[in-house]
């Protein structure tokens, strides 16, 4: 009888790797205002002779990243999910760049092409890392009924393959009441999480979760938020009014999660972090929360997961994505930094 040689026991798979395998099987549709971020790096060597208060920037570098709903899609791709992006671009260079970047990042293109609006572009000018000015090219007109129907038709064609829906509203007119109703009719409210502008809130009742920030929550509720406890009370008001769970982000004060099903709220303090750029924080929170919810986490667990993702995102320069490994390594990195700080010799007075 031949004895089977027993080798070293196989190491357990890291938690983030196991979750990434699960996320890789999840198709997530992102619907909303698609944008292109343009970063212009330059050097200021003189002031303009046309206006002595205006610096002349000599361009040294230009780069592009996805923004708005496209930024959320890129964040989900970085986390390991399969994103489908539905929105509107124009037949211009920016629209072509967005399609190119989506293809590079594995984002399925479900975009329609409009002739009555430019592709939304946010151009930021920097000098030695300092943000000098931002120029926006956009239209905020409501999407036409014909284009709304076309977008919904494309969405319905892939609906059977979609596990979860993320709505990303930046107030550029794509998310009309008709589109909201069509999404809810197609997918049901329990599979939709939304980051939307206050004026749209009345159209989006009865979905899985809504993610307002402090200012938006105050506008929707008509109440000021002065503390985390005040945020918990406002989240309760919003949950009752919108018949949805609420994930209320508070910037440096963290976030509040109010789960409608158990009528319970929790406050998640912000993680201490050296902030470099907050541009991508909202997209990081929205995508991480959606990823957690599609994996079966409750909203309180999703809030803790998203809070950690936000800490990673703001510690990076420019518009940054976050990986599952970075999220799960975050506590180890924080402990190492604390230990290093504690070992530093005290300054002589």
Report which of 290, 336, 305 is spatially closest to residue 30, judged by C-alpha positions: 290
Residue with tokens 């105050």: 218
Selected catalytic residue, list 283, 298, 318, 329: 283
Active site residue 136: no
Contact 313, 41 (CB under 8 A): no
Residues carrying an active site annotation = 283
């Amino acid at each position: 009888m031949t004895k089977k040689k027993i080798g070293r026991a196989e190491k357990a798979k890291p938690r983030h790797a196991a979750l990434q395998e699960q996320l890789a099987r999840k198709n997530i549709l992102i619907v909303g205002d698609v944008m292109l971020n343009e970063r212009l790096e330059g050097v200021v060597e003189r002031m303009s002779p046309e206006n002595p208060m205006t610096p002349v920037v000599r361009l040294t570098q230009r780069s592009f990243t996805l923004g708005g709903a496209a930024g959320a899609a890129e964040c989900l791709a970085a986390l390991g999910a399969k994103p489908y992006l539905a929105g509107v671009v124009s037949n211009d260079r920016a629209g072509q760049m967005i399609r190119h970047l989506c293809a590079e990042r594995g984002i399925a293109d479900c975009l329609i092409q409009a002739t009555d609006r430019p592709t939304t572009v946010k151009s930021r000018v920097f000098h030695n890392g300092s943000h000098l000015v931002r120029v926006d090219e956009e239209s905020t007109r409501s999407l036409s009924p014909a284009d709304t129907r076309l977008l919904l038709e494309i969405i319905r064609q892939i609906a059977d393959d979609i596990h979860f829906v993320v709505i990303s509203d930046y107030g550029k007119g794509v998310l009309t009441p008709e589109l909201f109703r069509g999404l809810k009719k197609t997918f049901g409210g329990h599979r939709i999480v939304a980051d939307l502008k206050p004026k749209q809130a009345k159209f989006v009742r009865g979905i899985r979760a809504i993610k307002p920030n402090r200012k938006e929550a105050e506008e929707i509720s008509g109440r000021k938020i002065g503390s985390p406890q005040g945020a918990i009370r406002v989240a309760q008001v919003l949950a009752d009014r919108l018949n949805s769970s609420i994930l209320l982000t508070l910037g440096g004060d963290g976030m509040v999660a109010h789960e409608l099903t158990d009528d319970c709220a929790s406050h998640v303090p912000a993680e201490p972090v050296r902030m470099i750029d907050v541009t991508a924080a909202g997209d990081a929170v929205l995508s991480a929360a959606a990823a957690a919810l599609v994996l079966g986490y409750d909203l309180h667990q999703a809030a803790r997961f998203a809070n950690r993702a936000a800490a990673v995102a703001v510690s990076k320069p420019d518009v940054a994505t976050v990986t599952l490994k970075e999220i799960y390594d975050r506590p180890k990195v924080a402990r190492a930094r604390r230990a290093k700080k504690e070992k530093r010799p005290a300054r002589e007075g």
